[in-house]
Amino acid sequence: MADHLTEAERSWNMSRIRSRDTSIEMMVRKELFARGFRFRKNDKRYPGTPDVILPKYKTAIFIHGCFWHRHQDCKIATTPKTNTDYWTKKFAKNVENDEKHKMQLIEQGWQVFVIWQCEIEKDLKGTVDHLIESIIQCKEPNDE
C-alpha cells in the first residue's frame, strides 16, 4: 500500500513527534513526584539524555516508546511497510545508541532502568512500584 500523504505532509507529521515530555514520560514523572522522589529531567550532561535522573540514588531512567526503541515481542514495535530499508536502519541505530548510552552510564557508576510504553499503558502504578523497589534494592541513597 502506497503512502497516502504527500512528502510535505509526511514531513510535517513526523516533525510533530516529540522526543521529550511525552505523555508516558509525564505519567511516570508525576507518579514518582507524588511518591516523594525528586529528579532532573532530560539532563544533557549524561549519555543519552536520560528521561529521568535521580541524583540521590545515582539512577538514570529511560522511558522508551516501543515503536521507536524496538521493544522485543511487542505488538507496538511494528515496521512500516513503505521505505522499509530506511526504517530498518533507523531502528537499528536507535537500538545501538540505546545500548551504548546505557553502557556508558553503567561505566560511570549509574544504575540504569528502562521502562517501556506498553508496560506504562498496561499498569502505571505497578510499573512504578516495581521500579522504585528495584532502585531501593540496588542502591541506598548517597549521602551527598
Which CATH number does the domain housing residue 92 bear? 3.40.960.10
Rounded CA separation 52/19 (Å): 13
Residues, the chain: 144
pLDDT tens figures, 84-137: 999 999 999 999 999 999 999 999 999 999 999 999 999 989 999 999 999 888
Q: Is the dihedral of CA 68, 134, 138, 23 positive or negative?
A: positive
Q: What's the number of domains the chain is made of?
A: 1
Question: Which residues, in sequence order, are bridge partners of residue 54?
Answer: 59
| Cα distance between residue 117 and residue 94, in whole Å | 16
Contacts of 21 (CB under 8 A, 6+ apart): 42
What pLDDT was estimated at residue 88?
Answer: 94
**Mean pLDDT, residues 24-47:** 93
**Residue 1 pLDDT more than 50?**
no
Domain range for residue 131? 21-138
Crossing angle of helices 23-34/124-138, nearest 10°?
A: 60
pLDDT of 144 reads: 47
Residue 54 domain-assigned?
yes
Q: pTM for the full model?
A: 0.84
